[in-house]
Amino acid sequence: MRLINHIPGKPLAVLLAALPFIALFAAYSIGSDIRLDANPQDKLLPAPSTIAETAQRLFTEPDRRSKEILLWNDTFASLARLLGGVGISALLSLLIGLAIGLLPYARSAMSSFIAVVSMVPPLALLPILFIVFGLGETSKVVLIVIGITPFMTRDLAQRVLEIPQEQIVKAQTLGASSAVIALRVALPQVLPRLISNVRLSLGSAWLFLIAAEAVASNVGLGYRIFLVRRYLAMDVILTYVIWITFLAFLIDWLLKTLSRKAFPWMEAGL
């Protein structure tokens, strides 16, 4: 039997999925032991037990000055910015993508513009956004919107263009207006792709958020990482990195579950 036809069973699939994480943890532990044996005061690779102790402290102990648990404050602030930016991007990309895909006039007017905007490096616009919108929440949300909306819009517009023309013609034959075609024919077929696009864009959204928080913020996950880096507090930095990774994974899993529950026909067709 050819290798491409070998499908691992569930226990083996779980083991194979866990192997990279086990290998990464083992490599880090070995590297940490080597450095700490050479210099017990080394801060670059803290021991896993040190990271665990730091995580417990960050999650449970309030700050001495503010009497608040800073990690939770940072989490809520960053998630509010992230979800706001991603939500606005999803809505804009859906509306513009449907317009470009269905309306020839909108396609002629906007497709080239969206293509050009998608080539602009979003982080290069960060100083401009701070000047225009100030150092508050707006500039951070706008950076996320500018960073991920063009990509999502182009992909959704292409998905609309891939809808069989026969469906459009049949809907018009039955007397459907352009709005009805958009809502009853195109929208149900585009929504699963929208969720997939949001999942694919989450990594970029986190990148833009952390970059903006690192430059100008007084609360947030990115702000805290760049604040403690000056003290070489790698145990705190790694705790925050692991926490951000977990949050990203959780959001991705929730979106995947939503897509599977809301569009089972899409999952069955994959």
Q: What is the mean pLDDT of residues 35-43?
A: 85
- pTM for this entry: 0.88
Domain boundaries, the chain: 77-233
pLDDT tens digit sequence for 173-186: 888 888 999 999 99
The pLDDT value given to residue 269: 43
The pLDDT value given to residue 193: 93
Distance CA(43)–CA(158), nearest Å, equals 49
Segment among 43-47, 224-228, 234-238 with least mean pLDDT: 43-47
In the predicted model, is pLDDT for residue 246 greater than 50? Answer: yes
Distance CA(124)–CA(113), nearest Å, equals 18
Segment among 32-41, 110-119, 158-167, 258-267 with least mean pLDDT: 258-267
pLDDT tens digit sequence for 10-19: 888 889 889 9
Q: What is the mean pLDDT of residues 234-239?
A: 93
Distance CA(11)–CA(17), nearest Å, equals 10
Choose between 193 and 266: higher pLDDT: 193
The pLDDT value given to residue 248: 95
Average pLDDT value over all residues in the chain: 90
pLDDT tens digit sequence for 199-213: 999 999 999 999 999
pLDDT tens digit sequence for 131-161: 999 888 899 999 999 999 999 999 999 999 9
Choose between 44 and 251: higher pLDDT: 251
Q: What is the mean pLDDT of residues 40-69?
A: 88
Confidence tier at 270 by pLDDT (50, 70, 90): very low
Please state which CATH class domain 77-233 belongs to.
mainly alpha
In the predicted model, is pLDDT for residue 9 greater than 70? Answer: yes
